[in-house]
Structure 1
Amino acid sequence: MSTAVSFPLGASTTLAELARDPHPRLALLRAHEPVSWLPELNGWLVTRRDLGLDVMRDSATFTVDDPRFTTARVVGPSMLSLDGAAHTRHREPFAAPFRPRRVHDNFAAFIERETDRLITALEPAGATELRRAFAGPLAVAVVTDALGLVGTTTDTVLSWYDAIVRSVSDITEGLEAGPAGPAAYAQLRAAVEATVADPHASSLLVSAAGQLDVPEVASNAAVLMFGGIETTEAMITNALLHLLQNPAQLALVQADSGLLDGAVEESLRLEPGAAVVDRYATRDTVLGPAAIRRGDLVSVSLTGANRDPAVFADPDRFDVRRAEARLQLAFAHGPHHCLAAHLARLETRIALQRLLERLPGLRLDPQRPATPYGLVFRKPAALHVLWDAPATNR
């Protein structure tokens, strides 16, 4: 029996729909075809949370180590595209600073300073586009500081990131990636080599170079930068959008800053910055209703899993007091759980708290609406906001 007959909802699902407004279609798939064959994806899409966990936990059956893995095609092998002992060897040299007990001590003061510096520059205007004027620069500054990358600027790092993300997205969508991504990665690799060679440098990159070859340090630096910027820029932008779209929830957070953590988790649940994670079947296997063949692409929809009504009651509602919000899978799960998840959470919490404290009357610009968009990475292209700027002295 053909997959079109077995999975009619998957056969009628388009990538354009999943990029534009995926939630209604994902709900249908989750209810009727929780593991469905999508011809446009040329692979399986998993939308139920329990089945997604099965995939992400079992790296022996569902691996990232495949020549088709998109990020590896741009930056080469790294902790993101390896499994087993090779994955551990690549990941472990970078892990220590991102462990929960060390994140606050290592990064909180820097994040607070950088957040305040960015807001001070914005404050007098009363209006801005926050994704590019605030969220992106903050994420880049923190990643650059965390890696200890020398001799570069925030703008340069952001340009590298933009080019690499564009290449990965193009490949994922079946398009031919242009030369900008590999060119950006070559520049990043040169910066990593310069950092490692600097006798005065003391950084995570230098430390990792004691355990990995320099090209391996560079590829892992790229995925950490890529993940750190993309995840955190999306987290800040999406969380602010959710709060400003829900005045009653915003009022709860403003009355009790202890609810900020819940707001961050709930925003991650509703709109994870990374919508899917890709795996490849290493053997014939059965997952839910699907007979998967060796070599098949198996994509887990984190977006779909995060609105699974079996876990999250009234799943489309934004609720900063939701008790089960921490069960969201925005940072994936299993061996490839996001290395810097705790740092991203800390960064987003500080950013939201400072924005709400320092920009009175912060609100969306009604003339310039914002909507998350993207097949792989989801956030608004722009987030235009207004606030009550301080009166100037006359």
Structure 2
Amino acid sequence: MTILRDTTDSTLAERFAHLTAAARRLHLPSGHDVRTAVRWGVRQGVPGVALKVGARTGDMFARLNTDPALKANPFDYYDLVRTAGPVVPGRYVMATARHGVAMRLLRGDEFRSGVPEELMPRPMQALYEWSRDNAAVGGLTDRPSMLMNNGADHLRLRRIASQAFTPKAIEALRTRIEQLATDLLDELERRHHDGTAVDIVTEYAGTLPVLTIAEILGVPKELQSTFLGWGERILPAADWGVPYRTYRDISTTLREMNGWLLQHFETLRRNPGNNLLSRIVSASDAEKSADPGGGLSEAELVSVAGLLLFAGFETTVILIGAATVRLLGDRDQLELLHAEPDRWRNALEEVLRIDAPVQFTVRYPAHDTEVAGVPIPRGRMVAVMLAGASRDPDVFPDPTRFDITRENARDHLGFGSGAHFCIGAPLARMESEIALRKLFDRFPDMTPAGTPTLGPNTTFRGYAHIPMRLNA
């Protein structure tokens, strides 16, 4: 990881020394918290300092992650990155917003996902290994997550998880999702029949996916709100430079959730349910029975379940919210959908293109290479700006126009591409289509009741609140 490997950067070294001294002054009460502080320093503290240093020296990825104005509206900035070159150099992280280059980085065999821990300075590797907390493993940012693994390990995890995501298994959820959506809309109509404002995110878009994930994971009804709270508290882990107190809360939350999941796996083994997580646990245990070295470890099962929570929850919430705002802002497109409902599927692809839930991901090469004539050294991270690549005018004419009839809308990179293509994409598509069709069929005259507000996350860019009046 270049941010951690560049020992010649005296400014960064001095800032890290200050971070270390600050950690000592925290007077943490236990070895457990000391390990959390050290892990934060390696994974968030040093990168956070590097982002601030890089932003002052023109690093385009660093600016995106530190400038509040760019966080709020990054799209003109993606155009600037695209114009600057196929792969733009940076003090610590390179960047691209070109569709063809992004595809090369996402699909190239020599490129890896995650953080190149093996390239950290040895003392920092030792610190990170010492501070590793298997009880606080997350599905987004920690190995053995599928997002952080590559090669044979990634394929093994994905192969077992995919057994639960067959087209037949996904389609079997359709009736249940439709019923959940209908029940939620009935409740909205009951509570807001007098014209009071409804928050589409908190009362619908954010509720339906968590109920669906509860079905997938076999979460008891009484724990569903707890699971939603866990997801909201863990989500900041997807960002860079997270403050220590936030990181400590994330670690505490992960321990709570993972502890429950470990007990839940045993429950599913004793009483397998008709849910996708039961199938994953059963498939893993069957492989272990056939081969003691096969299947998934408990930590790997935890990481898969954690990834399902976020892959199936957060991206779907963002997609439903973004589509609602887009369609209400373009009544002609909405009227076309009312007249020709068969266009809903392509309309969702256009929302994924123009309002990508995941703004960027990161890749690094396993060896020195070049892309589009630009040398990329081994281990140098490249930010693949998915949302920028999905607005590349060389691929999508008039890219800022929202057009549900766009013929190549599905060429977007909203779900990534290559080996790490989102495993939950079919579920997200089906769930979002059901949610939106039912919402606009029930309340065709819905109108804004205020200005939608964005959430604080940079990586997952979506609305936190969308006030509406249903006008039923």
SS at match of 1:381: strand
TM-score by length of 1: 0.89
Q: Is 2:110 aligned against 1:60?
A: yes
In the alignment, residue 389 of structure 2 is paired with which amino acid? A
Match of 2:336 among 252, 255, 274: 252
The corresponding residue for 1:301 is 385
Matched with 1:132 is 202
CA distance in 2, matches of 1:359, 1:303: 30
Q: 1:14 to 1:65 in 2, by over 3 A?
A: closer
Query: Are 1:25 and 2:90 counterparts?
Result: no
Q: Any idea what SS the aligned residue of 2:465 has?
A: coil
**Could you tell which deviates more after superposition, 11-20 or 314-323?**
11-20
**For residues 219 and 346 of structure 1, what CA distance do their matches in structure 2 show?**
24
CA distance in 2: counterparts of 1:103 and 1:266, whole angstroms: 22
Which digits, 9 at most, give the CA deviation of each residue in 1:301-350, with x for residues without a partner?
01011001111010000001110101011000000000010110000000
The answer on 1:80 being equivalent to 2:124 is: no
Structure with higher Rg: it is: 2
Are residues 1:190 and 2:190 paired? no
Aligned with 2:460: secondary structure? coil
Task: For 1:260 and 1:151, locate their aligned partners in 2 and report how far apart those are by CA, in whole Å.
Answer: 31
Aligned CA distance change for structure 1 residues 311 and 385 (closer, same or farther; 3 Å): same
- After superposition, the C-alpha distances for 1:71-101 in whole angstroms (9 at most, x for unaligned) are 6685541211101110011111111232334
Q: 2:460 aligns with which of 367, 377, 381?
A: 377
**Residue 167 in 1 paired to residue 237 in 2?**
yes
User: Cα distance, 1:63 vs. partner?
Assistant: 3.5
Look up the match of 2:167. Answer: 100
1:111 paired residue among 170, 177, 181: 177
1:148 aligns with 2:218: yes
Query: For residue 247 of structure 2, what is the amino acid of its counterpart?
Result: G
Of the three residues 342, 347, 354, the one matched with 1:263 is 347
1:206 to 273, 276, 281: 281
**Structure 2 vs 1, CA of residues 238 and 254 (structure 1 numbering), >3 Å: closer, same or farther?**
same
- Matched AA of 1:181: I
Q: Distance in 1 between matches of 2:368 and 2:242?
A: 25
Q: Secondary structure at the match of 1:36?
A: coil
Matched, 1:368 2:439: no
**3-state SS, counterpart of residue 30 of structure 1:** helix
* Residues in 1 aligned to 2:310 and 2:167: alpha-carbon distance in whole angstroms: 21
Query: 2:461 and 2:143 mapped to 1: Cα distance?
Result: 24
Match in the other structure for 1:392: none
| Native 8 Å contact 1:93 1:207 kept in 2 | no
- Mapped to 1, the partners of 2:306 and 2:96 lie a distance apart of 28
Given that 2:318 and 2:462 are in contact with CA atoms closer than 8 Å, whether structure 1 keeps it comes out as yes
CA separation of 1:219 and 1:71: change in aligned 2, threshold 3 A: closer
Name the stretch that deviates more: 323-332 or 177-186. 177-186
| 2:149 partner letter | L
Distance between the aligned counterparts of 1:369 and 1:213, measured in 2? 43
Matched, 1:180 2:180: no
Q: Is the 8 A contact 2:87 2:95 kept in 1?
A: yes
**Deviation at residue 160 of structure 1 after TM alignment:** 0.9
1:283 is paired with a residue of what secondary structure? coil
Match of 2:89 in 1: 37
**Uncovered stretches (5+) of structure 2, i.e. residues with no partner:** 1-53, 121-127, 129-136, 286-294
Q: Decide whether aligned partners of structure 1 residues 255 and 370 sit closer, same or farther in structure 2, where only a CA change above 3 A counts.
A: farther
Match of 2:442 among 351, 354, 358: 358
The CA deviation at 1:383 is: 0.9
Give the 3-state SS of the residue equivalent to 1:154 in structure 2.
helix
Task: State how far apart, in whole Å, the 2-side matches of 1:11 and 1:301 are.
Answer: 9
Judge conservation of contact 2:262–2:298 (CA < 8 Å) in 1.
yes
Aligned residues: 378
Alignment of 1:214-363 (within 5 A): 214-363=298-447
1:258-278 alpha-carbon deviations (Å, 9 max, x no partner)? 111121110000011010111
231 and 60 in structure 1: CA distance in 2 versus 1, 3 angstrom threshold: same
Superposition deviation, residue 116 in structure 1: 0.8
Structure 1 contact 373–380 (Cα < 8 Å) conserved = no
Distance 1:382 1:37 in 2: 36
- Check the 8 A contact 1:18/1:375 in 2, yes or no: no
Relative to structure 2, which stretch is displaced further, 372-381 or 310-319?
A: 372-381
- In the alignment, which of 187, 190, 193 is matched to residue 121 of structure 1? 187
CA distance in 1, matches of 2:242, 2:254: 20
1:64 partner amino acid:
G
CA drift at 1:293? 1.5
- Cα deviation per residue 1:183-228 (whole Å; 9 max; x = unaligned)? 2212221222222211113323432541212221011110111111
The CA deviation at 1:372 is: 7.2
C-alpha displacement of 1:52? 0.3
Measured in 2, the distance between the counterparts of 1:251 and 1:146 equals 34
